[in-house]
Structure 1
């Protein structure tokens, strides 16, 4: 009798373990490179999932893959996920999302985040009704407002340097929009490009003596090597403005943008809705609307600039 009870208990435990295993969600995460903005978006998504009942180590298994800034590796990661067929793929950045979309052409839900222009990247054909199995949240920076900030803080500035990777569709989109906006605010745009992080320093140096300010868009390659741009700016007393707020903490002078962590939380909420039964293609592509001004006093001191009080009063955070 005792042996039967023990056997029954063992079988019961095995059945329960099987059920628990069946209920585990397998999430593949592909990220083009690790830098503070993208890392914050990933953490925000995971925190939101946890609050909604999908907890890593309990009912959520995560396979995180970093492409180390290489689109070829991003494609390899996407093919890996295509073979393993996870329950969902979170694609962080435009190159990673494009690679995932190309490799996972079945019904595996793909949710992207930190993608600037999903239409240009051909991830979706309609922002309000994506259709298919792909949706996500865009990080399109408020370019007009950011250019206005540069104009307001530096009224005498004439030439604005922009540094980006021409191989990133999101960066090309931003550059084209800046070309149209800059003359309206009295800027002559000076564009330089860097296809790899190792080229960023040289590209930044080419701007020294030619521009009055530098704008770094939401570009994974340049943001990954931001310290190279900052070294040039400090040596030449050139202010650096960025499209993402997290770069201000690293030494840029200012940014008027949004929190990538909050964007990640918004992405995580979308992911949870899909895991709960909704179809990815039925969820409109999300946007982040809340803007925050971040300033860096230390960066201002490095270039001999005193931040006017009116901007400090508007800032939600001032880094010393």
Structure 2
């Protein structure tokens, strides 16, 4: 049975995230256009965007957010900054947005959202790509956030991802998961993976890391103990994914991930949310807030219910794995 995201998120509570050198702000004027349902084009808004690291999925959230704002008729000066995972720089960015009195801030990924929420209490904040906003204490509940923060979650279909391991490796008994001990979203996914694994007879073992330079070492520590790797939406691990791919290919172990872009880089398969659509969804929420048609406190957290199955047949071939015809037929994207 598929995991109910609202039930799962409401039941879990976790710990804060870390992050790593800042990039200069990019000020982008969004084109003005009329849009049904909003009147936000009446002024030019100051919008801050902070993205924890450079990554194709998170980049897709940002670029689609900005493009959709234009389509919604919002005229904005967009101030984009990226601390590339550095927590101190991230805090400085958040404090700068507070001092600049941004009309709205988009915080992409859990560390960004936590930093901005701590710095700003009097302006609307939208998060995106946050796995567990309740556990992170960003919102009081998914239906009624309660304060100045709401947004969209990338809670991914871990039940489908774990089931995919069994489809690809029917005799698998143990899954290895390299994860950042500082990322609360990763801790959530580790526990969910253990729960889902137990339902299908799979044991999930973790290898904790603290920064991306440790990813390869963490992966190597699991070789000989596991039958496949599973990687969640972990910013730190994804930043060092090439090291994990190298280990997995040498050991002939498949990697199943929670984002499609990692499959393009060499993982075998993923069930994942569409981060581009998430950017669009978040921008539509922003337009309503700026137009005065909604308030973060009463705007429910948004989710996606149509995950995408991506497979990489070349990556499978490198480790001698034949992807079953049923999986090929179900794939939305084949690389």
- TM-score, normalization: structure 1? 0.89
1:35 to 23, 46, 55: 55
Any unmatched runs of 5+ in structure 2? 1-40
Partner Cα distance (2:311, 2:70) in 1: 32
Asked whether 1:102 is paired with 2:118, we answer yes
C-alpha deviation, 1:179, in angstroms: 2.1
2:326 to 310, 314, 320: 310
C-alpha deviation, 1:202, in angstroms: 0.9
2:314 is matched with which residue? 298
1:75 is matched with which residue? 91
C-alpha deviation, 1:250, in angstroms: 1.3
Question: Secondary structure at 1:261's aligned position in 2?
Answer: helix
C-alpha deviation, 1:232, in angstroms: 0.8
2:202 to 173, 177, 187: 187
1:87 to 103, 106, 127: 103
Partner Cα distance (1:148, 1:253) in 2: 14
1:114 to 117, 124, 129: 129
2:262 is matched with which residue? 247
Any unmatched runs of 5+ in structure 1? 1-20
Asked whether 1:137 is paired with 2:152, we answer yes
Question: Secondary structure at 1:203's aligned position in 2?
Answer: helix
1:147 is matched with which residue? 162
Asked whether 1:218 is paired with 2:243, we answer no
Partner Cα distance (2:193, 2:273) in 1: 19
C-alpha deviation, 1:306, in angstroms: 1.3
Partner Cα distance (1:189, 1:72) in 2: 33
Number of residue pairs the alignment of both structures matches: 294
Question: Secondary structure at 1:30's aligned position in 2?
Answer: strand
C-alpha deviation, 1:181, in angstroms: 2.1
Question: Secondary structure at 2:271's aligned position in 1?
Answer: strand
2:13 is matched with which residue? none
- 8 Å contact 2:167–2:324 — kept in the other structure? no
C-alpha deviation, 1:72, in angstroms: 2.2
Partner Cα distance (1:156, 1:22) in 2: 61
C-alpha deviation, 1:88, in angstroms: 0.5
1:276 is matched with which residue? 291
Partner Cα distance (1:217, 1:94) in 2: 14
Aligned CA-pair RMSD: 1.3
**Structure 1 or 2: larger helix share?**
1
Asked whether 1:46 is paired with 2:61, we answer no
Question: Secondary structure at 1:124's aligned position in 2?
Answer: coil
C-alpha deviation, 1:22, in angstroms: 8.9
Question: Secondary structure at 2:323's aligned position in 1?
Answer: coil
- TM-score, normalization: structure 2? 0.85
Partner Cα distance (1:233, 1:47) in 2: 37
Question: Secondary structure at 2:244's aligned position in 1?
Answer: helix
C-alpha deviation, 1:193, in angstroms: 1.3
